[in-house]
A and B are shown apart, each in its own frame.
Chain A
Amino acid sequence: MSTTTLTGTIALLGLILRRNRIWILIWVASIALLVLLTAVGVAGLFPTQASIDEAAAATQNNAAAIAFNGPAQGLDTLGGEVAFQVDAMGLVIVSLMSLFTVGRLTRGEEEAGRLELVRSLPVGVHAPTVAALITVAAMNVVVGALTFLALVAAGLPTTGSLVVGGSYAAVGIFFAGVALVAAQVTENTRTVYGSGVAVVGLAYLVRAVGDVGDGTLSWLSPIGLAQKARPYADERWWPLLPLLAAAVALIAVASRLAAKRDHGAGLVSPRPGPATAAPSLGHPFGLAIRLQRGTLLGWGAAVLVVGIAYGWIAPTIDSFVANNPTMAKFMASAGAGSLTDTYFATAFRIMALIASGFAIQSALRLRGEESALRAEPLLAAPVSRWRWAASHLVIALAGSLALLAVAGLATGLSYAIAGGPWSSVPRLLAAALVYAPAMWLLTALAVIIFGLAPRWVDAIWAILAGCFIVALLGVVLGLPDWVQQLSPFDHIPALPAARLDVLPLALLTLLAAVIVLGGLVGLRRRDIG
């Protein structure tokens, strides 16, 4: 790479920072804040060494908790407990930050046609990509540094905190490499995000299966590898080195691939399409299905894999309780139902939150189509606004229900095949489906923002993030009840551990219907464009 291929990098860096400062600020600040609040929250939960020891004894062999959080290491220290709560989740969020930022800055700019204008200037061939990578690398370094400072500020040991911060940065940079390769292969930014999220999900699952077993498999996962650096538990730095080496290798591969392709194109060139439309493509709903089916299938595959993994791990939890009479007695006395049922309840809440991503994305297609001026040809044809909106909303609402069904069936069947009772299949299906009203309420909120204040639709993602935080960290952060109850997911009975209560489900559904209606009325009254 000669220096002329980098001409203009600094100027482009300035442009990126100018255009993305809010994006960058939100990601970096919210990750640092999440770490800080978790650390302070955990410290508040366990004020004495005795309470830490008690918690450690309860989680030491708790396969369910390990499946969600990571290996049980250093749990007899406050640092170990904090890392157990925040490490896996933080690593996933940092990975997503890198993925979305790289996609947005590289293929996103290229697809929008803006990069073409930049490339016509006296700017080196590699300058736009290098400027994007510098930005993402810097974001990761800052996230790592702030994480370190937050943990130290919460009173945790320096070395362990440094390892957590370092592992965040290393995993983030690794996924920047993954995203950059994906951005060369496909010409569609959406596909870059989809395939990148699939790799993050796979990394999380491989780690879960590995950690529940003897931990060998976890070495194959970038997230598992980061946790092998053992923060607050005899730290070691070397597991982070392969991550950085892999990141460099991925960037090199991306650079090779970039040299082979034309501007605007991917490596896979699109096939010609049909000269005439199939009969199904004759109305707005047919179009909406055609536009969304790829997305729905992608989410379906993701939920399927997650369900299979959660179901597969479940028998380990049964045996953990069976081999541990004290634990069994404790669980029974706490009236929490069986540990396995609690595990499934948590698993479905997480899967429902994940699947809500589809519901929101699908409903926001409306805004995407409108902004891209693709609503116009339909609305200038004899298609009412409601009919156009319904074409996408039906897919959002029914598709999210279908995803829950896939999650329930995949988990139940996988559990049964792995040794669980077959009777659990319908039980787990029901446990998954009860989350539909909560997902519909989030969809409804997206619709009403779209109808009344379309410029602000992306705020719905912040609402989803809030629901995630309440579900995963609500107790740890010591959030007051009324804050936790703001999340619709908090009102869903935690089947199969809890009893089915129809009333909250009916109320959430009704509320969702009213809000959707409000959004549609707003849509009918406002300007399009």
Chain B
Amino acid sequence: MNIRVPMPRNAAAPIAVSGLIKNFGSTRALDGLDLKVEAGEVHGFLGPNGAGKTTTIRVLLGLLRADAGSASLLGGDPWRDAVELHRRIAYVPGEVSLWPTLSGGEIIDLLGRIRGDLDKSRRDELLERFELDPTKRARTYSKGNKQKVALVAALASNAELLILDEPTSGLDPLMEAVFQDCIHEVRAQGRTVLLSSHILGEVEALCDRVSIIRLGRTVQSGTLQEMRHLTRTSIKAELRGSADGLETLPGVHGLEIRDSQVRFEVDSSQLDAAIRRLAEIGVKSLESHPPTLEELFLSHYGDELANEPGRML
């Protein structure tokens, strides 16, 4: 169930990428990646470090030329039509690097004027909400404050598409909340956001649809609800009778029985049968929760993470 009102279909999708391949020397960074972002949605872009998120974004910005596959941005060719397309987007890089001798205020104004849509009052309002001192030289900003400079510059624009590459990795929880408010406002205005993030709570709170990528390839894409159907629900129950027979039910995993307490996970498609069986035994209390995004994420990367202790989320 998608709560979004469908957008008119006459406009091309803001981002449409298919079969994208990009090699750096002998390393293949993108290996047939697909990504489709519909107009008006906030689209989560997930994947572990090195999965190819930033490379995809840099192809979309026309900074890198893809070796194969197709990419379209706002209906144009990101490489050929870069300048025209960039009037309609705003970008927050994953690694914010600012001119050390310029003040934060100067950088925000510069980027706004170059894009041509600097809204002075919106800029000042955002500075206040993010509690950013615009007179400090960029050299002296902390990581989080550098990110705020890039965020204010992007959010102060009227761009129809915002491309945000891990924009909140340096923000504290209070600023994270401010950021989420801003993205809700952007979405309410019908603008589109591509949000690459490691913060799963943030993606869960903000995103309509999510694409999960791994090793340069899209492994899953859809709404959170759709994804949950493909995975397992956790059940914790206190039973009146014996838990016999639960282990033979199809789709039940990780069953733990302690006295009258049971815990298990069940494939969402088999949830029906499991609940019916519990009801037959008799239930004193029941807790169930759908898989969190984190669990979804780990279900895709769990093996890989276990085998590669150096690789972190």
Interface mask (B210-253 → A, CB under 8 Å = 1, otherwise 0) = 00000000000000000000000000000000000000000000
Segment at the A interface, from B5-13, B82-90, B266-274, B302-310? B82-90
Chain B residues contacting A283 (CB-CB under 8 Å) are 113-114
- Known interface pairs A281-B109, A373-B93, A381-B114; A275-B134 also in contact (CB < 8 Å): yes
Decide: A277 and B106 in contact? CB cutoff 8 A: yes
Using C-beta atoms within 8 Å of the partner chain, give the interface range for chain B. Answer: 35 or more
Interface mask (B186-224 → A, CB under 8 Å = 1, otherwise 0) = 000000000000000000000000000000000000000
Decide: B111 and A377 in contact? CB cutoff 8 A: yes
Interface mask (B98-119 → A, CB under 8 Å = 1, otherwise 0) = 1111110111111101111000
B58 within 8 A of A: yes
Chain B residues contacting A277 (CB-CB under 8 Å) are 105-110, 113
Decide: A273 and B103 in contact? CB cutoff 8 A: yes
- Known interface pairs A272-B137, A273-B135, A275-B135; A380-B105 also in contact (CB < 8 Å): no
Chain B residues contacting A290 (CB-CB under 8 Å) are 101-102
Chain A residues contacting B63 (CB-CB under 8 Å) are 376, 379-380, 527-529
Chain A residues contacting B114 (CB-CB under 8 Å) are 282-284, 378, 381-383
Interface mask (A171-190 → B, CB under 8 Å = 1, otherwise 0) = 00000000000000001100
- Specify which of B64, B84, B107, B140 is in contact with A382 (CB 8 Å cutoff): B84
Question: Which residues of A371-407 have CB atoms within 8 Å of chain B's CB atoms?
Answer: 372-374, 376-384
Chain B residues contacting A373 (CB-CB under 8 Å) are 93, 95, 97
B62 within 8 A of A: yes
Q: Would you give the shortest CB distance from A525 to chain B, in whole angstroms? A: 8
Interface mask (B65-105 → A, CB under 8 Å = 1, otherwise 0) = 10000000000000000111011010101010111111101
A residues adjacent to B (C-beta < 8 A): 187-188, 270, 272-278, 281-284, 286-287, 290-291, 372-374, 376-384, 525-529
Q: Would you give the shortest CB distance from B130 to chain A, in whole angstroms? A: 14
Q: Would you give the shortest CB distance from A386 to chain B, in whole angstroms? A: 10
Alpha-carbon distance between A161 and B58 when the two chains are bound, in angstroms: 58
Of all chain B residues, the one with the shortest Cβ separation from A281 is: B110
Chain A residues contacting B84 (CB-CB under 8 Å) are 382
Listed by A's residue number, 12 A-B pairs whose Cβ atoms lie within 8 Å are A272-B135, A273-B102, A273-B105, A273-B137, A277-B110, A278-B106, A284-B114, A374-B98, A377-B150, A377-B153, A382-B86, A384-B83
Of all chain B residues, the one with the shortest Cβ separation from A290 is: B102
Alpha-carbon distance between A384 and B87 when the two chains are bound, in angstroms: 11
Interface mask (B143-175 → A, CB under 8 Å = 1, otherwise 0) = 000000010010000000000000000000000
Chain B residues contacting A282 (CB-CB under 8 Å) are 109-110, 113-114
Q: Would you give the shortest CB distance from B30 to chain A, in whole angstroms? A: 13
- Known interface pairs A380-B61, A384-B83; A276-B91 also in contact (CB < 8 Å): no
Of all chain A residues, the one with the shortest Cβ separation from B103 is: A273
Q: Would you give the shortest CB distance from B185 to chain A, in whole angstroms? A: 22
Alpha-carbon distance between A263 and B137 when the two chains are bound, in angstroms: 17
Q: Which 3 A-B pairs have the closest CB atoms?
A: A273-B103, A277-B109, A282-B113
Chain A residues contacting B113 (CB-CB under 8 Å) are 277, 281-283
Decide: B105 and A276 in contact? CB cutoff 8 A: yes
Decide: B83 and A383 in contact? CB cutoff 8 A: yes
Decide: A377 and B91 in contact? CB cutoff 8 A: yes
Chain B residues contacting A384 (CB-CB under 8 Å) are 82-83
Chain B residues contacting A529 (CB-CB under 8 Å) are 58, 63-64
B284 within 8 A of A: no
Q: Would you give the shortest CB distance from A387 to chain B, in whole angstroms? A: 8
Chain A residues contacting B135 (CB-CB under 8 Å) are 272-275
Decide: B110 and A527 in contact? CB cutoff 8 A: no
Decide: A274 and B105 in contact? CB cutoff 8 A: yes
Alpha-carbon distance between A281 and B102 when the two chains are bound, in angstroms: 10
Chain A residues contacting B140 (CB-CB under 8 Å) are 270
Alpha-carbon distance between A414 and B139 when the two chains are bound, in angstroms: 41
Q: Would you give the shortest CB distance from B175 to chain A, in whole angstroms? A: 20
Q: Would you give the shortest CB distance from A346 to chain B, in whole angstroms? A: 37
Interface mask (B117-149 → A, CB under 8 Å = 1, otherwise 0) = 000000000000000001111011000000000
Q: Would you give the shortest CB distance from A189 to chain B, in whole angstroms? A: 11
